[in-house]
């Protein structure tokens, strides 16, 4: 019997549908009470490794596996699913795929009920999990009506109620507002301190460092590039691939002594006709349900790059679903290019507004990535040559060249998300609206497509950057707002509580904290250097201004 809860020895795996190895020669062991952070760019093998640990490989994903994975000395591939589920509890990247019950309380009780535990113990476990995650207020809610972040918390509560000895958390912060993410990280650390073995797979390395992980496992191309402590930035870690604290990036850029360009500023046309107008918009789902939006007034102008910030469940997604006509106001009006959305079909609006859903599984249906991207342009009446050009450029923008014939639902969560972004890009709508565009994305990939979308370069001949009149993105990643937005909307209490330039809205720390937005190292460094820079810049560009 092994003294280690988890031993991975010389593990390699190749998916049946792919020619290349997904992971190669992975070896490490974890002690009881250890918290391991696994990081690396999208497609580096993190999720495949997780699937080998929780037994989804070889059960749900077929392919060639060599090496071994031992849970408390027993090989995962030889264990029964009920036995394994009590040892390893997994939180998936996409909570949509994990929630099975229609009611929150029943969802959290589902696991313990399947273990056949006594009723009193089930109730005790459910109450404890809700209290630990501060979600008692969600107890009687329907899971269908929860926000993405609320679903993530409920899925995590369901996991805690099972009381596994190993917690495997795959991108647990992806849908959480910054304050909720901070609270979740404190829970993960306390669980490790209480003796749980915690594996945290996370792109948001800067946030994850708050848990004081015992070790970092950094992967590149399916292999371990670094395994060790993380007091400072190890030289093996590429700061362009994962999101790191701003001061570490500045230090690395200064050491490399490479010239860094300062991004262009985007021009906003405030004198022209607004593209979208909200007039006193209020909304509730039914006469009995509470208001979700109340007296919202908003204008989106040509040239706007708008970041929408605010807590989980505040109504941010509900707001943008009014812009694309999926929802109609209970009172008030929404105008798209001067026309009332009540008089427009969703198809008519799609020619003006492209919308990327928070969960990619709400959008993907086609047999191949190429078919997925061709669907919108075909329906909008594109001719073959312009469609092919738009599809090719969209694939390139989101770094999916070579994946044209892959089935979208067979891709990683991050690749699925990029497929949905590319599918909307290919339609060449005037306004791009994205709900959590960086969920499941590594730093390198989202930097690439955000640069393409928000590029202010005058000489760019790209179909994409030339086409979009404005971009709006809902995000819990404050640094996305700092780096790309020229306008920030802070949403809470059913309406817009702040609207202005990033440097004006984001300097009010008390207001941010009230609406569960936590200042980051990049924001703090930008505010410190604002007198010299005159505007917010990405961490690499700040190296030229810091002492």
What CATH number has the domain bearing residue 60? 3.40.50.300
203 or 63, greater pLDDT: 63
Residue ranges making up the domain that contains 407: 353-428+431-468
365 and 238 fall within a common domain: no
User: Is 233:244 a contact under the CB 8 Å cutoff?
Assistant: yes
In a domain, 80, yes or no: yes
In a domain, 117, yes or no: no
Task: Name the pLDDT band for 466 (thresholds 50, 70, 90).
Answer: low
- Does residue 421 register a pLDDT over 60? yes
In a domain, 40, yes or no: yes
- Does residue 139 register a pLDDT over 50? yes
Task: Name the pLDDT band for 462 (thresholds 50, 70, 90).
Answer: low
Residue 490: both structure tokens together? 């802070």
In the β-sheet with 305-309, what is the strand arrangement from edge to edge?
353-356, 431-435, 470-474, 305-309, 487-492, 495-500
226 and 362 fall within a common domain: no
Q: Cα–Cα distance between 22 and 61 in angstroms, integer?
A: 12
171 and 31 fall within a common domain: yes
234 and 366 fall within a common domain: no
User: Is 207:29 a contact under the CB 8 Å cutoff?
Assistant: no
**pLDDT at 448 (0 to 100):** 85
56 and 176 fall within a common domain: yes
Question: Which residue, 468, 492, 522, sits at the end of a domain?
Answer: 468
Cβ-based burial of 467 (10 A; exposed 0-12, middle 13-18, buried ≥19): middle
The tens digit of pLDDT for each residue in 193-220 reads 999 999 999 888 888 998 899 999 999 9
**pLDDT at 132 (0 to 100):** 92
In a domain, 398, yes or no: yes
Residue 94's Cβ-side half-sphere holds a number of Cα atoms within 13 Å equal to: 19
In a domain, 254, yes or no: no
- Does residue 4 register a pLDDT over 60? yes
Q: Cα–Cα distance between 390 and 193 in angstroms, integer?
A: 51
- Does residue 417 register a pLDDT over 50? yes
In a domain, 515, yes or no: no
In a domain, 141, yes or no: no
As a whole number, the mean pLDDT across the chain is: 90
- Does residue 467 register a pLDDT over 80? no
Cβ neighbours for 521, distance < 8 A, ≥ 6 positions apart: 206, 245, 246, 247
**pLDDT at 456 (0 to 100):** 47
What secondary structure does DSSP assign to 193-231, as a single string?
HTT-EEEEE-S-HHHHGGG--SEEEEEETTEEEEEE--S
Question: Which residue, 446, 468, 490, sits at the end of a domain?
Answer: 468
Total number of domains constituting the chain: 2
Percent of the chain whose pLDDT exceeds 70: 96
**Rounded to a whole number, what is the largest CA-CA distance in the chain?**
73
- Does residue 113 register a pLDDT over 80? yes
In a domain, 32, yes or no: yes
Question: Which residue, 221, 244, 267, sits at the end of a domain?
Answer: 244
Task: Name the pLDDT band for 272 (thresholds 50, 70, 90).
Answer: confident
**pLDDT at 149 (0 to 100):** 85
């Amino acid at each position: 019997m092994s003294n280690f809860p988890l031993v991975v020895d010389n593990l390699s795996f190749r998916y049946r549908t792919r020619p290349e190895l997904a992971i190669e020669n992975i070896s490490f062991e974890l002690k009881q009470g250890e918290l391991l952070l696994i990081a690396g760019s999208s497609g580096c093998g993190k999720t495949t490794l997780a699937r080998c640990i929780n037994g989804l490989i070889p059960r749900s994903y077929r392919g060639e596996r060599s090496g071994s994975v031992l849970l408390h000395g027993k090989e995962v591939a030889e264990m029964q699913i009920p036995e394994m589920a009590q040892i390893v509890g997994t939180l998936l990247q996409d909570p949509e795929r994990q929630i099975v019950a229609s009611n929150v309380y029943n969802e959290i009780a589902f696991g313990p009920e399947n273990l056949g535990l006594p009723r009193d113990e089930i109730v005790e476990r459910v109450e404890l999990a809700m209290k630990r995650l501060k979600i008692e207020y969600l107890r009687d809610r329907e899971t269908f009506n929860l926000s993405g972040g609320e679903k993530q918390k409920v899925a995590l509560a369901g996991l805690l109620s099972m009381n596994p000895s190993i917690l495997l958390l795959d991108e647990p912060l992806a849908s959480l507002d910054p304050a909720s993410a901070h609270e979740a990280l404190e829970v993960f650390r306390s669980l490790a301190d209480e003796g749980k073995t915690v594996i945290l797979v996370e792109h948001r390395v800067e946030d994850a460092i708050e848990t004081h992980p015992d070790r970092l496992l950094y992967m590149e191309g399916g292999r371990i590039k670094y395994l060790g402590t993380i007091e400072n930035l190890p030289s093996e870690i590429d700061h362009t691939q994962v999101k790191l604290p701003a001061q570490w990036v500045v230090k690395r850029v200064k050491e490399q002594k490479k010239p860094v360009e300062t991004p262009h500023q985007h021009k906003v046309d405030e004198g022209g006709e607004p593209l979208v107008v909200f007039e006193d918009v209020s909304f509730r789902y039914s006469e009995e349900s509470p208001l979700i939006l109340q007296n919202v007034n908003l204008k989106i102008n040509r040239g706007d790059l708008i970041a929408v910030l605010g807590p989980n469940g505040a109504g941010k997604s509900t707001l943008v679903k009014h812009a694309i006509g999926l929802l109609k106001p209970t009172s008030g009006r929404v105008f798209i290019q001067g026309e009332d959305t009540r008089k427009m079909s969703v198809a008519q609006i799609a020619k003006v507004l492209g919308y990327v859903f928070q969960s990619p599984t709400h959008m993907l249906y086609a047999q191949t990535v190429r078919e997925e991207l061709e669907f919108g342009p075909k329906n909008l009446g594109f001719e073959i040559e312009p469609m092919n050009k738009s599809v090719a450029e969209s694939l390139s923008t989101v770094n999916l060249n070579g994946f044209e014939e892959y089935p979208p639902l067979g891709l990683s969560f991050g690749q699925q998300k990029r497929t949905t972004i590319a599918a909307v890009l290919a339609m060449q709508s005037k306004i791009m609206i994205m709900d959590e565009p960086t969920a499941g994305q590594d730093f390198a990939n989202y930097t690439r497509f955000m640069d393409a979308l928000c590029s202010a370069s005058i000489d760019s001949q790209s179909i994409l950057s030339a086409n979009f009149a404005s971009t709006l993105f809902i995000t819990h990643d404050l640094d996305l707002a700092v780096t790309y937005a020229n306008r920030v909307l802070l949403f809470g209490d059913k309406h817009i509580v702040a609207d202005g330039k990033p440097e004006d809205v984001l300097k009010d720390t008390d207001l941010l904290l009230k609406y569960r937005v936590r200042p980051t190292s990049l924001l703090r460094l930008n505010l410190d250097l604002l007198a010299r820079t005159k505007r917010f810049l990405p961490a690499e560009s700040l190296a030229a201004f810091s002492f």
